[in-house]
Amino acid sequence: MNEHKHTILCVDDETNILHSLKRLLRKENYRTLTASSGEEGLDLLSENEVHLILSDQRMPGMNGTEFLAKVKKHYPDTIRIVLTGYTEVDSITGSINKGNIYKFILKPWNDQNLKLEIQQGLDQYALVQSNKRLHERVLQQNEELKKINKNLEKMVNRRTMDLEIQNQALELSHAVLEDLPIPIIGISSEMMIVLINDKAQALSFKDGNIEVGKKISDYFSREVEEIIADVFKNNTSDTYEKCRLGEEVYQVDFMPLSGRFRGKGIVLTLK
Provide the number of structural domains found in the chain.
2
> Which range is least confidently modeled, 174-188, 233-247, 254-268?
174-188
The model's pLDDT over 111-149, given as tens digits with 9 standing for 90+, comes to 999 999 999 999 999 898 888 898 888 888 888 888 877
In a domain, 146, yes or no: no
Dihedral of the alpha carbons of 227, 233, 238, 242, in degrees to the nearest 10: 0
Do 11 and 104 have their domain in common? Answer: yes
Average pLDDT for 44-71:
92
Give the range of the structural domain holding residue 240, as residue numbers without chain letter.
Answer: 182-271
Last residue of a domain, one of 76, 92, 109: 109
Last residue of a domain, one of 78, 109, 140: 109
pLDDT above 70 (res 21): yes
Q: 6 - beta bridge partners?
A: 30
Do 196 and 104 have their domain in common? Answer: no
In a domain, 155, yes or no: no
Dihedral of the alpha carbons of 5, 75, 81, 91, in degrees to the nearest 10: 170
Residue 225, domain CATH: 3.30.450.20
In a domain, 14, yes or no: yes
In a domain, 17, yes or no: yes
Per the prediction, the chain carries an average pLDDT of 85
* Residues whose CB is less than 8 angstroms from the CB of residue 80 and which lie 6 or more positions away in sequence, other chains included: 52, 53, 55, 68, 71, 72, 100, 101, 102
Contact (CB, 8 A) for 104 and 81: yes
Q: Where are the alpha helices (DSSP H) in 10-158?
A: 15-25, 38-47, 64-74, 89-97, 111-152
Residue 68, domain CATH: 3.40.50.2300
Average pLDDT for 52-71:
91
In a domain, 213, yes or no: yes
Last residue of a domain, one of 63, 85, 109: 109
